[in-house]
Every structure is written in C-alpha cells, then in structure tokens.
Amino acid sequence: MSATAERGVNALREQIDAPVASFFSSCVSCGLCADACIFFQETQDPQYTPIRKVELLRRVWENEYTLFGRVKSMLGLGNTITEEDFTEMERLVYDSCTMCGRCTMVCPVGNDITMMIRKMREGMSAAGHAPVELIGAAKRHTKGNSPMGDLSKAIQSQVKHAIADTGIDIEFDKAGVDYLVILSAQEIAEYPEVIGAMAQIFAKAGVTWTISSEAFEATNVGVQIGNRDVAKYLVTRVVEAAEKLGVKKVISPECGHAYQALRWEGPNLIGREYGFEVVHIIELLDQLRAEGKLKTSGKDTDKITFHDPCQINRRGGINKEPRRLLNMVAENFVETDDAGTMNWCCSAGGGVGANERAGDLKNAAFQLKKRQFEKVAPDKIVTMCAFCHHTLENALEDNDMDIEVAGLTEMMAEYLDDED
Amino acid sequence: MNNPYFDLLMFARGPLFDLALLVFVAGILIRIVEILVLGRKKDFSKAKGKPVQQGIKTIFTRTLPRPGAIKANPITIVGGYVFHIGFFIAFLLFVPHIALIEALTGLSWPGVGRVIIESATVIAVIAGLALLYTRWKDPVRRKLTTWVDYLVLILSLLPLITGYVAVNKLFGDPTFMMALHILSVDILMIVFPFTKLMHAFTFAMARYYNGSIQGRKGAES
C-alpha cells in the first residue's frame, strides 16, 4: 500500500465507531437510498447509489473490526484498499454528494449514510484526494480570514454601508453585549444587505450585538473537505473570539454548513462545551417573534415559495421557524413538493458548488429543483442559506428562469413595523 | 429402522442442530459485542431535542416507508414486507415449531391453523422470488448485490420450500424431505452471524443511532 493510501486508511480507521459498525452490519443492499439521492434521480446512474459512496469505510470496518473479516485478512483474503480505490471514489464522495441527508431519512434499517460520507471524506482528504478547489479554500481560510481570501477590509466597508443605510450604529469588538454576529463569506461578498437587516431588526427588538474583527466569518471548509484539523482550527477562531468578548450567544448566519460546523460539530472538534450558546439567525428571529419583539406590517403580495437548506432543516432541525416568519410577511406563500424535511438540495451544497469538475453533475441535479419551481411558478424564492441563495440565483439564470431569490432575514427587515 | 434417510434426519435434528444453534447464538452475541465495544464519543453539543427518546421511537417509526417510496420501489418494499411477515408467521406460529421452541426455552404461545401457515409460506416464497428477481434485474440493486446476498436470500427461502414440501408430502421421501428441511435451517443458522442476516438484530441499533443523532439536533428521523 502506498504511503498516501495508508494515511487514508488510518484516517478511516479513526472514524469507525459503534454507529458505523451497526450501519454496515445492517445494510441489506436494498438500494432504496438511490431514489433519495438527487444525483441518482437526475442521472439514473447506479454508481451514485449513496451506500456505494462509503465503500472504503465499509472495507476498513469489515477487514479490521469484524471477527470474520480479521480472519480473512489474516489468511490474505481481506479486501485491501489501494491508491486506485481512493482515486476511483473521489468523484463519488465529493462530486456526486452534497451531504444533503435524504438517504439517511429513507434507509429502512436506519443507516445515517450522510454521516458516513462525512467520515469517508476524512479518509479521502488524508489520502490526498480532496478536490483542489476545496484545498485552495482551506488554505485561504486558515491563512487569512475567509475561504474567499482576505475579507477584513470588505467587512469594514460593508458595515459602514449598513450604518449609512440604516442610521444605526454597529460597533466591532464591543464587549458585554449579548450576541456575536458572524457572517458567511458569501454574505459579505454578495449579500451584505443582511447586515443592515439584522441591525434594524435587533434595534427594534432591543438585542445588543457586535461583530468581531478577528472572527467574523462562519463558514468551515474543514467539514466539507473532511479535515478535522482544519475544521477545528476554524471553529476555534470563532470560539476564542466569542469567549474573549464574553457574549452569551453566537448567531450562526444564513449558511447551511456553517450552522452544522459551529452548532453541532464544533464542540466535538474542540472537545468541550462552549462558554456560550449558538443560535441560528432564523431561530433567533422566531424567538423574537414569539416574544412579541419582532413585529411586521404589510405583506408581500408576490407568489412566494421557500427553499429549505438541507443542513439547516433536515440535518439541523429548523423547519417550522422559517415558515412561521414567512407567513408574517408573505400573503401568497406556496410550498413546493417535498418541502420541509424531505426538500431537495439546491444542487451545490457540501462543497459541490466550488468543485469545477462537478459542474455538469450539479447542472443535472438542478433540473429536479427546476421542475419543482416550474410547478409552483413563484415570483420569488426565499431561503435561509446564502450559498443556496447564490446557487439558485445562478442556476435560475442559466436556465432562463426569471425568479427573484431572497434571504429570509432581509425579507423580515423589509416588512419591519416602523411604529414604536 | 428401514428408512435409509432416518440417520440423516437424526443427524440434522441432533448434533448438527446443536452445533448450528451454538454458532447462531454465540455468533450473534460476538457480532453485537463487537459493535458495542467500539462505543461512540461523548457529544459535547448542547442537545436541542431528545436523542434517547427519538432513538427509541425511530426503531419503530422507520418500519414505515416515506410517502412515495412504494411507488418508486414497489417490489423491494411490498416484497420485503410480505417476505418478512410470511416468514415469521411460518416460523413462529406453526405448532410443531412452537413445541421445539418450548423444548429449548420453555416459552410457548398459541399457534395458528395449517391453512394460514401454508398460505403464508407460499406467499413468502413468491415474495422472496420477487426480491431475487429485482436484485437481478434492477441496475441499482444488481450493482450493489454480491454473491453472498444471493446466497443468503436463497438460503432464507429453502426452509420455507422444504418445510412446505415435507409437511404436505408433495414429492420425495417424507423422511428425507424433513431431513432436508432441518438441514436447511441448520445451514441458515450457521451462516447467520457471518452475513447480512445480522440485520435482523442490528437494525434496531442502527435505527436507534440514526434517531438519536437526528434527535439531538431537534431534526426529524
């Protein structure tokens, strides 16, 4: 076995635990996970059957963690893993999986295949088989402050704009406030309106908040690439900034994998509980709504539909909150088929969007969303993930569909009640 | 004894059955322990939902397919249900089987009549053959299936087929057929711990883990 393949196998070995062993022991190869996968649905190519994408993890488990497998390995009959195996799996593990989690929901024996893909990526990246774009993003993020490069000037200028637009003061690094806002690079670069939107909503609701000049970016390419060290390093940055400022809560932005990384993986990456709580911006807005601190007036009369980001709804548990909020401001809210927990991915999550090699597959996968949108024929699609927002906007344009895409936080701010 | 197959029957239900039962029970225990000792790391994230309750709930709720799933995979899902239900009716509700289980464990329960047992057996065999067919024909399943998967499915059908033939004295020597029936059960028990037949036990663990992982996040499972 080559040195890189060995590193990959070592990384996979570290990923094996009782859930993984129970999943592989239970799989009866029924193939029902295939229909749950957007890439299989749109290509009908059996190689995209989700459980096949974790084959190397399964082999490590079988060879080393089952009695029968160990006996076979000792007799030289084990199913060893080679460099070629890693090469072959690359496109399945990174290009044809957005870690959307639908397979995990349909498996009759209950296998969390998506969680195993996350683990599989640890082995792939250790073996040197992660997509170059993701490796580049990881380098930029660990050396600088965002996967897009240095955004420290951009954030300063976007905050200045927000102050000028709203007339509300926003202070960096303000100690003693309740909330720390962090943003996704996509928001800072492409959708900075969200900063002003939050400023307006929080001013009305009496929420005290700040932005850290050291850790203002929430994305985490480490969880997409499958590199615990990178993921841990990036999470630690936010954790240290939040604990230094002494905030009670950190607001996870409208970004799917950032929520997954910060809220659910983060404490396990650093190996302890946080000294603060993490709340998703939409959870917070819904809480403010329930407390009567978020009031709106008027409603959008457009036909509006909602796109559920996989990592926030299906894999994050935030399902009813955005719908309660949207119903406050949308007069004509129509759901697409499968909306909610079983919604289909925007087609580019989990690192697929950054991966140029996956371009054709991504376009093929979007056709499913396209048909769903065509059926509803909305004027506007609202979502709560800046990357879904970005993906949908571009894909709609590529497919000559004239539908506006908007972030939910901005939309709430637009209809904020001006009365005191 | 005049019947030349009597010794075979005695061997199948005697020493071989005892050996098969030992492999079956010890094998399953080893496999389960082998999974549990791997453990899982403590989760430091603050739970939003109720992981333990949802894990237990998911063991049961995952029995039902999601809306639309049957339409997409009718043979696998309907065939799967019918095969499992038919198999367990024939296995657990046939009076002579209950008598055997009582002799081994002391536990017993009422059985059902021959008509139900035989109908269940026939329907389960048809369902099993349908599952075999879709494994062979459907490109997704064909690509996933290994020779062990085919073997295991065939081995699971043999006790049903041989049992039906033996009980109804359809053809062959009845003693020989009964010996074959018990031999097929012995073989099934012996291969059980080494194959995907283990899902009969580990599915509950897998569903529990799935439900508890999702439940911690307050997400559905």
* Gap between the Cα atoms of B118 and A363, Å rounded: 53
Element at A407 (helix H, strand E):
strand A404-407
* Gap between the Cα atoms of A57 and A47, Å rounded: 16
Read off the pLDDT of residues B55-90 as tens digits, 9 standing for 90 and up: 999 999 999 999 889 999 999 999 999 999 999 999
Residue A22 included in any domain:
yes
Find tokens 């976007």 and name the residue.
Answer: A158
Query: Which residues of chain A does B137 touch, with a Cβ-Cβ cutoff of 8 Å?
Result: none
Residue A371 included in any domain:
yes
Query: Which residues of chain B does A21 touch, with a Cβ-Cβ cutoff of 8 Å?
Result: 34-35, 38
Q: Domain range spanning residue A12? A: 3-129
The DSSP letter of residue A344 is P
The DSSP letter of residue A172 is B
- The CATH code of the domain that includes A199 is 3.40.50.1860
* Cβ atoms A361, A230 nearer than 8 A: no
The DSSP letter of residue B107 is -
* Co-location of A284 and A146 in the same domain: yes
- Residue B35 in tokens: 């999974």
- The CATH code of the domain that includes A60 is 1.10.1060
Residue B144 included in any domain:
yes
CB atoms within 10 A of CB A380: 17
* Co-location of A32 and A109 in the same domain: yes
* Co-location of A154 and A235 in the same domain: yes
What are A383's strand-pairing partners? A307, A407
Find tokens 């995209």 and name the residue.
Answer: A48
* Co-location of A192 and A245 in the same domain: yes
The reply to whether residue B218 touches residue A317, judged by beta carbons under 8 angstroms, is yes
- Residue A44 in tokens: 């009908």
Residue B17 included in any domain:
yes
Read off the pLDDT of residues A368-419 as tens digits, 9 standing for 90 and up: 999 999 999 999 999 999 999 999 999 999 999 999 999 999 999 999 998 7
The radius of gyration of chain B from alpha carbons, rounded to an integer in Å, stands at: 20
Residue B97 included in any domain:
yes
The reply to whether residue A108 touches residue B145, judged by beta carbons under 8 angstroms, is no
Question: Which of A106, A129, A152 is a domain's end point?
Answer: A129
Q: Say if residue B2's pLDDT is above 80.
A: no
* Gap between the Cα atoms of B84 and B86, Å rounded: 6
CA distances from A29 to A24, A114, A207, B147 (A): 10, 16, 51, 12
* Cβ atoms A254, A184 nearer than 8 A: yes
The DSSP letter of residue A202 is H
* Gap between the Cα atoms of A254 and A322, Å rounded: 11
What are A181's strand-pairing partners? A211, A251
* Co-location of A90 and A30 in the same domain: yes
Q: What is the pLDDT of residue A79?
A: 87
Alpha helices in A151-192 (DSSP H): 152-166, 185-189
Partner residue opposite A18 with nearest CB, options B38, B76, B198: B38
**Nearest residue in chain A measured CA to CA from B195:** A25
- Residue A32 in tokens: 């029902």
Task: Give how far the C-alpha of residue B123 lies from the chain's centroid of Cα atoms, to the nearest Å.
Answer: 16
* Co-location of A283 and A151 in the same domain: yes
Question: Which of A288, A306, A328 is a domain's end point?
Answer: A288
The DSSP letter of residue A305 is E
**Nearest residue in chain A measured CA to CA from B135:** A30
* Co-location of A77 and A28 in the same domain: yes
Q: How many residues does chain A have?
A: 420
Partner residue opposite A112 with nearest CB, options B45, B59, B213: B213
The mean pLDDT of chain B is: 96
* Co-location of A370 and A384 in the same domain: yes
Residue B59 included in any domain:
no
Q: Say if residue B1's pLDDT is above 60.
A: no
* Cβ atoms A148, A228 nearer than 8 A: no
Residue A419 included in any domain:
no
* Co-location of A218 and A329 in the same domain: no
Partner residue opposite B203 with nearest CB, options A26, A105, A315: A26
Read off the pLDDT of residues A12-25 as tens digits, 9 standing for 90 and up: 999 999 999 999 99
Beta strands in A67-222 (DSSP E): 179-181, 209-211
CB atoms within 10 A of CB A397: 12
A277 touches chain B (CB under 8 A): yes
Q: Domain range spanning residue B142? A: 6-22+72-190
The number of distinct structural domains making up chain A is 3
Residue B39 included in any domain:
no
* Co-location of A125 and A157 in the same domain: no
What pairing do the DSSP bridges indicate for beta strands A277-280 and A404-407? unpaired
The number of distinct structural domains making up chain B is 1
* Cβ atoms A135, A225 nearer than 8 A: yes
Task: Give how far the C-alpha of residue A154 lies from the chain's centroid of Cα atoms, to the nearest Å.
Answer: 23
Residue B210 included in any domain:
no
Q: Which residues of chain A have pLDDT under 50?
A: none
Cβ neighbours of residue A130 under 8 Å, at least 6 residues apart? A94, A121, A124, A225, A226, A227
* Co-location of A124 and A208 in the same domain: no
**Nearest residue in chain A measured CA to CA from B139:** A46
- Residue A391 in tokens: 């993906």
Cβ neighbours of residue A217 under 8 Å, at least 6 residues apart? A141, A145, A146, A151, A182, A183, A184, A185, A188
Q: What is the pLDDT of residue B68?
A: 87
- The predicted model gives B43-49 an average pLDDT of 96
* Cβ atoms A94, A131 nearer than 8 A: yes
Partner residue opposite A109 with nearest CB, options B72, B139, B199: B199
Residue A420 included in any domain:
no
* Cβ atoms B32, B192 nearer than 8 A: no
Name the percent of chain B lying above pLDDT 70: 99
* Gap between the Cα atoms of A218 and A148, Å rounded: 12
Burial of B38 (0-12, 13-18, 19+ CB in 10 A): middle
Q: What is the pLDDT of residue A420?
A: 64
Q: What is the pLDDT of residue B48?
A: 96
* Co-location of A331 and A390 in the same domain: yes
Residue B151 included in any domain:
yes
Residue B208 included in any domain:
no
The DSSP letter of residue A93 is I
